[in-house]
Amino acid sequence: MNVSMEQLVSLTKRRGFIFPGSDIYGGLANSWDYGPLGVELKNNIKNLWWERFVRRRDDIVGLDTALLMNTRVWEASGHLKEFSDPLVECKKCHERFRADSLDEIAETELIVEKREKASIEKRTAHTYRVCPNCHSKDLDDSKQFNLMLKTFLGPVESNENIVYFRPETAQGMFVNFKNVLDTTRKTLPFGIAQIGKAFRNEITPGNFIFRTREFEQMEIEYFVHESDWKEQFEHWKNEMTKWMQDIGLDMTKVHEFEQPKDELAHYSKRTMDFEFDFPFGKKELYGLAYRTDFDLKNHYKEAPYREEGKESSYPHVIEPTWGVDRTVLAVLTSAYEETEDRIVLKLDPKIAPYKAAVFPLLKNKPELVAFARKIYEDLRKKYMVAWDERGNIGKRYYAQDEIGTPHCITVDFESLENQTVTVRDRDTMEQKRVPITELDENIGNML
């Protein structure tokens, strides 16, 4: 089904996935906090990614680099000069916007020229941009605005103490290339992976967690011989597609977009985006870029890589990038389903916050509560499991449906007699009796 942003925002706040940042103080524009369930969903996605692309591969190692780096890093990478967006300001309300985010409106103007004996009419077509805030046509010319978020190190706010929060995680991996090479002795092809925060002083952030000034990336810099870049580019394109399938994205909403050569970033020779049909339209979800040897050549005066019996060289780089927050939003969009009776998040069990929920049928029966509690305590030693004894059983089922819990386990009076429980499936709502000795295996088989 097609879900609206209002439905998603409402559900995520009501059920503890995502809250407005600094909420009790009126919030902070485009700042969001992940709640108890949101942080579980987010961490499950990151852990699954790390397990898949780092721990299960012997050609990729991990890294965790600092948020603040020497300013010379950003000079060498070109960010201080090139990392900018076109900015326009409305002369009437003084709001500022990204120039490329404004719709251009075509208008035909009638011009009447007076001649001695007649008037000649001419029509001239031109376009103009309108302020989204006050609808004025009076906008200034666009200027380039650097997106780096600036701060100062030390007690004195001087030019000498200016540093920048990293706008991407990539440069931390590039400047550590030689350190990784010396300590791991990897040979091409190999990659460095990192999950971490990045910061961009976006002109017009918005659309919930889609575009924010503080966001998280899962990124790999995969170093290859220049002659192999096309093959490796296709390999990572396929890997990214499989990832999207495995986390349960609606693949009918996924589209591939090849960036035109005249719109490529200054470091890229080829970039393709995976776009997704979000509730607000088709937008970039992930990116895959061929960065050539641009970064290593800027950071290392001498070629940093050398294989035995060969001359030193600058490896080329394939860069697959996954946005964590956009992944969360795409997962929620794909999983959301609403009927007359209920709202359900059909999350893949691997990333669902809770793998199961355990209920006693009745709260006022100590023997049921004790039996159910024992099952709950045993399962939570291995899995994230919910406990709920409030209200009627139907409401408890529907509450777990809304947060995406795959299975609900109910202890009733029959459980006390034959050591079985009722297991309800989230998606089909079917119920079956299962021996308690098989619960661990049943949950494990989902993951």
pLDDT in tens, 262-282: 888 878 999 999 999 999 999
Within this chain, do residues 95 and 163 fall inside the same structural domain, yes or no? Answer: no
In a domain, 350, yes or no: no
pLDDT of res. 266: 78
In a domain, 211, yes or no: yes
Map tokens 């001239």 to a residue: 124
pLDDT of res. 134: 83
pLDDT above 70 coverage of the chain, percent: 91
429 vs 179: CA distance, rounded Å: 53
Q: Which residues contact 240 (CB under 8 A, 6 or more apart)?
A: 274, 286, 288, 320, 322
Within this chain, do residues 321 and 410 fall inside the same structural domain, yes or no? Answer: no
pLDDT of res. 137: 79
In a domain, 344, yes or no: no
Cα-Cα-Cα-Cα torsion 321, 324, 330, 333, nearest 10 degrees, comes to 180
In a domain, 351, yes or no: no
In a domain, 89, yes or no: yes
pLDDT of res. 140: 75
Report the helix count and the strand count for the chain, using DSSP H and E: 13, 24
129 vs 142: CA distance, rounded Å: 11
Confidence band for 135, pLDDT divided at 50, 70 and 90: confident
pLDDT of res. 3: 93
Q: Domain with 429 in it: what CATH number?
A: 3.40.50.800
pLDDT of res. 221: 98
63 vs 218: CA distance, rounded Å: 11
pLDDT surpassing 90 at residue 312: yes
Q: What is the pLDDT of residues 385-400, one digit of tens each?
A: 999 999 899 999 999 9
Average pLDDT over residues 10-22: 96
pLDDT above 90 coverage of the chain, percent: 75
pLDDT surpassing 90 at residue 195: yes
Comparing 66-80, 166-180, 425-439, which segment has the lowest mean pLDDT?
A: 66-80
- The token pair at 148 is 């780096």
CA distances 279 to 2, 236, 401, Å, are 7, 27, 21
Overall domain count for the chain = 3
Crossing angle of helices 5-14 and 324-335, rounded to 10°: 100
pLDDT surpassing 90 at residue 159: no
Q: What is the pLDDT of residues 44-80, one digit of tens each?
A: 999 999 999 999 999 999 999 999 999 999 999 988 8
In a domain, 235, yes or no: yes
- Mean pLDDT score of the chain: 91
Comparing 29-33, 57-61, 86-90, 262-266, which segment has the lowest mean pLDDT?
A: 86-90
Q: Domain with 322 in it: what CATH number?
A: 3.30.930.10
Residue 386's domain comprises 356-446
Last residue of a domain, one of 337, 366, 387: 337
pLDDT of res. 84: 61
- Total Cβ atoms within 10 A of residue 266: 11
pLDDT surpassing 90 at residue 384: yes
Q: What is the pLDDT of residues 230-246, one digit of tens each?
A: 999 999 999 999 999 99
Within this chain, do residues 179 and 69 fall inside the same structural domain, yes or no? Answer: yes
List the end-to-end C-alpha distance of the chain, in Å, as a whole number. 25
Last residue of a domain, one of 126, 146, 166: 146
**DSSP states along 189-200:** SEEEEEEEEEE-
Closest CA to 322 of 241, 251, 267: 241
Between these two residues, 204 and 345, which has the higher pLDDT value?
345
Within this chain, do residues 175 and 298 fall inside the same structural domain, yes or no? Answer: yes
Within this chain, do residues 237 and 166 fall inside the same structural domain, yes or no? Answer: yes
259 vs 174: CA distance, rounded Å: 24
Within this chain, do residues 204 and 61 fall inside the same structural domain, yes or no? Answer: yes
pLDDT of res. 103: 63
In a domain, 10, yes or no: yes
Within this chain, do residues 303 and 190 fall inside the same structural domain, yes or no? Answer: yes
Inter-residue contact 284 to 273 (CB < 8 Å): yes
In a domain, 345, yes or no: no
Q: What is the pLDDT of residues 112-126, one digit of tens each?
A: 566 666 666 655 555
pLDDT of res. 104: 60
Within this chain, do residues 139 and 93 fall inside the same structural domain, yes or no? Answer: yes
pLDDT of res. 112: 56
pLDDT surpassing 90 at residue 93: no
Within this chain, do residues 94 and 237 fall inside the same structural domain, yes or no? Answer: no
**DSSP states along 40-84:** HHHHHHHHHHHIIIIIT-TTEEE----SEE-HHHHHHHTHHHH-E
pLDDT surpassing 70 at residue 167: yes
Last residue of a domain, one of 101, 118, 146: 146
Q: What is the pLDDT of residues 342-381, one digit of tens each?
A: 999 999 999 999 999 999 999 999 999 999 999 999 999 9
Within this chain, do residues 74 and 100 fall inside the same structural domain, yes or no? Answer: no
Confidence band for 136, pLDDT divided at 50, 70 and 90: confident
pLDDT surpassing 70 at residue 100: no
Within this chain, do residues 274 and 375 fall inside the same structural domain, yes or no? Answer: no
pLDDT of res. 89: 76
- Total Cβ atoms within 10 A of residue 176: 17
pLDDT of res. 107: 52
Map tokens 């009501």 to a residue: 14
Within this chain, do residues 172 and 207 fall inside the same structural domain, yes or no? Answer: yes
pLDDT surpassing 80 at residue 161: yes
Map tokens 């009918």 to a residue: 252
- Total Cβ atoms within 10 A of residue 369: 17
- The token pair at 1 is 């089904």
- The token pair at 337 is 């389903």
